[in-house]
């Protein structure tokens, strides 16, 4: 009897161990960037791709795939409906994703429809013009808008109500300008927006800072304001904040990942452990800094609580602008 019990216990332990091994080795690790290449979602996926690879936390290389549409809505719906239990897929999200969820822009699925996995960094909203623009400060831009709001075309990722639009709306409101009077061209992602501005199709872009900083070294752009409480460190220290120019506006941009709602607890916790290890690494801190992101490390239950709180706050903000009833 004792021998049989021992055999059963040993077999159970072996099965559990085998399950852990299976969970620890996704056959085809993939990060979905819910936009075209070149924007913030792409940056987020490639940060995880490099961090997990360099830290030896993935046995197989992670591929980055692109699923544009609805600034995250297409990817969100596809993962929930078609890849709910896919153990190898993580999906990038940002504060813009949460703002759209708050407004019901992801269709029948809300913020409870996925498993929020990890936040790996934060950057801030930025208002940017071409280097040859006549606007040298946020005040210059505001004065021009006050004279004729229709004289300047803003380019931004997403439609009215999206994160980039909200940044311009907050600035307009602070300046006493009705956001509805702004001229606004929507693009699928930050990469397209910057390209349009460099091509002269729009005069100003509203985006995440990390989406435009690669152009600083090329001296193709001028950042009029970063939407942070204080000036950022290092090579970004010369960029003025909106606050110091008289406009009390901040917009932090969280960057992170979620997985499908039916991903097993074993696989979810395996991913969480890999991200916890990566986020504690000095090498990853350097990698994040190279991409002009600031530290923001949350995983599991802590991130889930943060997301729920943030979505509720965005619902209030969207209501103030008449975006939801």
CATH of the domain at 285: 3.40.190.150
Task: Compute the distance between CA of residue 52 and CA of residue 59 in angstroms, rounded to an integer.
Answer: 9
Last residue of a domain, one of 194, 217, 252: 252
Q: 133 with 243, same domain?
A: yes
What are 191-227's pLDDT values in tens digits? Answer: 788 889 999 999 999 998 988 888 887 889 999 999 9
Is position 10 within any domain? no
Is 77 strand, coil or helix? helix
Is position 246 within any domain? yes
Check pLDDT > 70 for residue 19.
Answer: no
Tokens of 214: 């690669």
Tokens of 93: 């999200």
Check pLDDT > 50 for residue 2.
Answer: no
Tell me the pTM: 0.84
Is position 15 within any domain? no
In contact, 124 and 253? CB cutoff 8 Å: yes
How many CA atoms are closer than 13 Å to the CA of 286, on its beta-carbon side? Answer: 5
Check pLDDT > 50 for residue 15.
Answer: no
Burial of residue 151, with CB atoms counted within 10 A of its CB: 0-12 exposed, 13-18 middle, 19 or more buried:
exposed
Which H or E run contains 255?
strand 252-259
Is position 99 within any domain? yes
Last residue of a domain, one of 252, 272, 303: 252
Is position 142 within any domain? yes
Is position 24 within any domain? no
Which residues form the domain of 42? 29-122+253-320
- Residue 325's pLDDT band, with cuts at 50, 70 and 90, is low
Last residue of a domain, one of 252, 278, 312: 252
């Amino acid at each position: 009897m004792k021998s049989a019990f021992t055999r059963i216990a040993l077999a159970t332990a072996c099965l559990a161990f085998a399950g852990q091994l299976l969970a620890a080795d996704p056959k085809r690790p993939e990060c979905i960037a819910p936009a075209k290449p070149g924007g913030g979602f792409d940056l987020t996926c490639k940060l995880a791709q490099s961090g997990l690879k360099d830290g030896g936390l993935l046995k197989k290389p992670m591929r980055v795939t692109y699923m544009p549409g609805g600034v995250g809505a297409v990817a969100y719906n596809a993962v929930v409906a078609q890849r709910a239990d896919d153990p190898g897929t993580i999906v990038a999200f940002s504060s813009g994703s949460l703002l759209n969820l708050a407004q019901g822009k992801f269709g029948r699925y809300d913020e409870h429809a996925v498993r929020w996995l990890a936040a790996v960094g934060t950057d801030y909203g930025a208002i940017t013009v071409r280097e040859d623009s006549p606007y040298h400060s946020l005040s210059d831009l505001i004065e021009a808008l006050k004279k004729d709001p229709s004289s300047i075309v803003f380019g931004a990722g997403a439609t009215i109500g999206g994160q980039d639009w909200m940044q311009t709306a907050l600035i307009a409101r602070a300046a006493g300008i009705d956001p509805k009077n702004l001229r606004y061209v929507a693009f699928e992602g930050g990469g397209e927006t910057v390209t349009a501005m460099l091509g002269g199709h729009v005069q100003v872009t509203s985006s995440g800072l990390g989406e435009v900083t690669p152009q600083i070294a090329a001296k193709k752009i001028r950042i009029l304001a970063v939407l942070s409480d204080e000036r950022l460190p290092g090579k970004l220290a010369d960029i003025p904040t909106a606050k110091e120019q008289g406009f009390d506006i901040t917009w932090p941009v969280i960057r992170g990942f979620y997985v499908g709602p039916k991903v097993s607890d074993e696989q979810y916790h395996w991913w969480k452990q890999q991200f916890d290890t990566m986020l504690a690494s000095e090498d990853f801190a350097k990698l994040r800094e190279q991409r002009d992101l600031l530290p923001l490390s949350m995983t599991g239950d802590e991130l889930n609580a943060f997301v729920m709180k943030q979505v509720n706050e965005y619902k209030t903000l969207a209501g103030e602008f008449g975006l939801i009833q």
